[in-house]
Amino acid sequence: MVTGRALVVAILGFLVLPAAVVAIAAFNDRALLSFPPQSLSLRWFIKAFSYRDFQAGFYNGLIVMLASSGIALVIGTAFAVALDRYRFAGRALIESLLLAPLVVPHFTIGLGFLILAAQLGAMRSFAVVVVCHVVLVLPFVLRSVYISLRNLDRRLELAAESLGARPARVLFTVTLPLLLPGLVSGWLFAAILSFNEFTASLFVTSQRTQTLPVAMYNYVREYADPTMAAMSLIFILVTALLLTLANACFGLGKVLNVDHGR
Amino acid sequence: MQRRPFFGLFVTPAAVTALVFTAALVAVLQYSVRKHVPGSLDVGGLTFDNFTAMWRPLYGRVFLDTLLLCLLTSAISLLLGYPLAYALVRARSAMMKSAILIIVVTPLFLGEVVRTYSWIVVLGNNGFVNSVLLKLGMIAAPVQLLFTVTGVTIALVHVTLPVVVVMLAAALAHIDPAYEKAAESLGAGPVRVFMTVTLPLSAPGIIAGFTTAFAWTFSAFATPQLVGGGKVNMISNLVYQLGFANFNFPFAASLSVAALALTFVSLWMLRFATRPFEKLGQH
Amino acid sequence: MSTMAAETTAVPPVAPQPSNADTAVRLDGVTKRFGNAVALHDAWIKVGRGEFMTLLGPSGCGKTTLLNLVAGFLTCDSGEIFIEGALVTDVPTSERDIGIIFQNYALFPHMTVAANIAYGLKTRGVARDEIARRVAEMLSLMKLTGLESRKPRELSGGQQQRVALARALVIRPKVLLMDEPFSALDKNLRASMQVEVKEIQRRLGVTTIFVTHDQSEALSLSDRIAVMSEGRIRQIDTPQRIYQQPADRFVASFIGEVAVLRARLESRDGEEATVAAGACRNTVAAAPLRELSPGAALDLFVRPEHLRLVAENEPAAAQGIVAAHVYQGDHIDVYVDAAAAATGRILVRVPGYEAVDRAPVGARVGIATTGINTVAFPPEG
């Protein structure tokens, strides 16, 4: 029992270690990494915020994130409902194609959209990045909404119907309100993943549409100062905060399906 | 229940997305059998040279390394992930559960760049691990961790561990604790209960976790690129280098096709090899 | 179990059928298949206006399918359904003006009690003050006043059921459909809710189709019962006639306890036939025995309260050995093994304790019929 607990703590430690180390490094006053830091300062945070490429990357990432997560939410929700309710030709085919980005290497997907964009003459447009991100985050929306749908009691919709509600009214007054936790968490997952996506983005973004992770990657390749540590720390904290909020609002355990079955 | 309100509205957008995704994959496939025109982004006529050019020890080595790294990473993730998933599902207090969940899930959403950079800070010659070991006097000179298979594997495990935990936990959560109690009541000790009840019943999660870890590792790019630093290469690095350093997109495409084929063959073989275990978990 | 007074009362010879003008719901030859399985086979049924009709049968008998067809949740493969004279076979649920109570009530968890009740009025575009008035009226009728702003999960099981009933009734449905509504309640609450629901149903005169597998619930609540098995309606009749004059072997053995004695057809005289079981003679309805000639073997179905224990040497329908006594408070159930004279154990219901003294476990006893409420069917197979 005690060894079991120690093991779990050690593994959790492994997961937390890089974040903790980055947090220390981010406040190091010197440009060269050293542990423990000789003196502390906030200068790398200031540099991170004022660095042009990071600023542009942040705005680009925001645009791509909002567009792709929004579109993926609508497409994913609609299709999850169809998957849950209807049998139709091509059902399995569309489902496996939409879930395929979970196993198809991101560099293949990125390369594919890059070639597609080149052929359409749209290499530098946001549209390519957004479409590529929609494809990448859709499986997560689909899964999250589908799980909520499975937990939805069909009889609630039947009761609404028996009370005279036509399909559209049932959808907007019963189905969607009850799916809300699944929708919000599905959207949140999609948004975070899109904002942090790197490999495929490296292929499909141009100088003009570069997202933040791509800008950060380019920075790491060129400079070794702790600016990146400061950026990373902000990323880690914001992501953890969003997930904690999500957990408090609708229980991540339920959304990720890791809670005990009822 | 035979009426299907909004059927077209629900399915069409998804079908279009699936079509666009297919088009992207077809584009890769199409480029993989085209001639490379040096100095141009346009491609030439049909050819299979790209695939025959792949049969060189240089590339064979990268394919083999990629496979081995995938297997190693998935296996380690499974070993480390199981105790964590178990603790997550069986944690008594809600606080504890939430804490474990947040720690596990946060890296899942962080993206490769931040995580990889963090590991450079941890593993570098002036990094955290070496500094600590030097201060403690356990080593005389920094140990080379960056640019080694060990370093890359550690960073890759950090990428795949969270998703493995989530998948294992999903499987464990759906095992009725009554089965374990029943086994206990029949005189089985904790180890026996685990080996004869819990482990077999969680087989679907183990398979799903391993498979996903395998695919994700295969897909990793920034980790081998930055932590491997050119010393440890995976197919993804090769594709990027060919595409963006040499602008040989046809060859990059054919490597991608080969990688995709390798992914699916590996996953299929995994499925095949694990089929007997999957039966165990059916309940 | 023995809620029906089992004395010979004058049972009308034919079950009352509503005339077409009084029919609220009518099924004409409705069939429903799921793949190759026939869930409902050629069902003909008429439910009178204001009638409480129960669909009774074991699980998988087709009763819920029938209910779902009336509700419009399923569509018929063949046949027609009429509600208040209008053909609704292809009318969607939302246009059928029905009320439905599910086993788990299906109250909208994201709406208050008042919003739940108002839902069906809103979909009908009823004016807002009219909605408020009718919701308030329902709340007081259902003794829910004061709970209007609660959410369903904050209510007890009985209160939830009342909200479900209020939500279904406030739209003044043409028919109220109830799918095992009491099975989620504990025993005491169930009994009081049954009384309450029956009272409200009678007061509002709402036509009700009620689905249950619980025969005592069916017997105590219904005006008429349709007994179903394997997708077929076996008998539609009043509770009394279902119990006393079951139409076939299935109905006889599904409703109440019954002993099956081996017997012989002695003679037939018009509507009636005389049947001999051991030394006992019984008069039964002749209709089910049409195919048999005198002397043929048959099975005699007798309710446990119409059997008597007699001494071993007295004339009896069967002889056997007492296997067990089960004390039931107001009576005692005596189980007798009589393999030669009956299929299965014979249950004899005796009123007092003296039976235990007269016939201890292991004693040989005789069992005599009293000649009351017996029915006979040809042997199985």
Distance, CA of B174 to chain centre? 24
CA distance A40 to chain B (A): 16
Q: Does A233 touch chain B (CB under 8 A)?
A: no
Confidence of residue C122 (pLDDT cuts 50, 70, 90): very high
Query: Is the Cβ pair A155, C109 closer than 8 Å?
Result: no
Q: Report the chain A residue with the minimal C-alpha distance to residue C93.
A: A162
What is the per-residue pLDDT across B118-157, written as a single tens digit (0 to 9) for each?
A: 999 999 888 888 888 888 888 888 888 889 999 999 999 9
- List the single range of A54-58, B57-61, C261-265 with lowest mean pLDDT: B57-61
Best residue in A258, A259, A260, A262 for a mutation probing chain B (most B CBs within 10 Å): A258
pLDDT digits (tens, 9 = 90+) for C321-376: 999 999 888 889 999 998 888 888 899 998 877 777 888 899 999 999 987 888 99
CA distance A247 to chain B (A): 7
Residues of C in contact with A178 (CB under 8 A): 109-110
Q: Best-predicted range by mean pLDDT among A27-31, B58-62, C14-18, C106-110?
A: C106-110
Q: DSSP label at C345? A: P
Residue C8 has pLDDT above 50, yes or no: no
Whether residue B109 and residue A192 make contact (CB cut-off 8 A), yes or no, is yes
CB contact under 8 A, C73 and B3: no
Lowest mean pLDDT among B163-177, B269-283, C254-268: B269-283
C5 has pLDDT over 50: no
- Judged by a CB distance cut-off of 8 A, whether residue A252 touches chain B is yes
Q: Is the pLDDT of residue C1 over 80?
A: no
Count the residues in chain A. 262
Q: How far apart are CA B71 and CA B211, in angstroms?
A: 10
Determine, for residues B1 and C92 on separate chains, whether the beta-carbon distance falls below 8 Å.
no
Contacts of A15 in chain B (CB under 8 A): 103-104, 107, 158, 161-162
- Residues of A with CB below 8 A from B220's CB? 199
Confidence of residue C7 (pLDDT cuts 50, 70, 90): very low
Tell me which chain B residues have a C-beta less than 8 angstroms from the C-beta of A232: 114, 117-118
Task: Label the pairing between strands B43-46 and C208-212.
Answer: unpaired
Rounded Cα distance between B84 and B93, Å, is 15
Q: What is the largest CA-CA distance in chain A?
A: 73
Q: Does A165 touch chain C (CB under 8 A)?
A: yes
ipTM: 0.90
N-terminal to C-terminal alpha carbon distance within chain C: 29
Chain C hits for B3, Cβ within 8 Å: 92
Q: Does A243 touch chain B (CB under 8 A)?
A: yes
DSSP SS3 for B236: helix
B1–C contact, CB cutoff 8 A? yes
Q: How far apart are CA A160 and CA C140, in angstroms?
A: 23
**Nearest residue on chain B to C75, judged by CA atoms?**
B2
Distance from CA of B1 to the nearest CA of C (A): 6
Which of chain C's residues have a Cβ under 8 Å away from the Cβ of A159?
100, 102, 106-108, 167
Residue B26's closest chain A neighbor by CA? A112
What pLDDT tens digit does each residue of chain A (262 aa) get?
567 889 999 999 999 999 999 998 888 887 777 777 777 888 889 998 999 999 999 999 999 999 999 999 999 999 999 999 888 888 999 999 999 998 899 999 999 999 999 888 877 789 999 999 999 999 999 988 998 898 899 999 999 999 999 999 999 999 999 999 889 888 988 998 999 999 999 999 998 999 999 999 999 888 888 899 999 999 899 989 988 888 888 777 776 777 754 3
Contacts of C98 in chain A (CB under 8 A): 162
Say if residue B15's pLDDT is above 90.
yes
Cis peptide bond prior to C16, omega within 30° of 0: no
Query: How far is C258 from C254, CA to CA, in rounded Å?
Result: 9
CB pairs under 8 A between A and C: 64
Question: Do residue B3 and residue C92 have CB atoms under 8 angstroms apart?
Answer: yes
**Chain B residues inside the 8 Å CB shell of A17:** 122, 128
CB atoms within 10 A of CB A90: 11
Using CA atoms, how far apart are residues A231 and A237, in angstroms rounded to an integer? 10
What is the C-alpha to C-alpha distance for residues C61 and C63, in angstroms, rounded to an integer?
Answer: 6
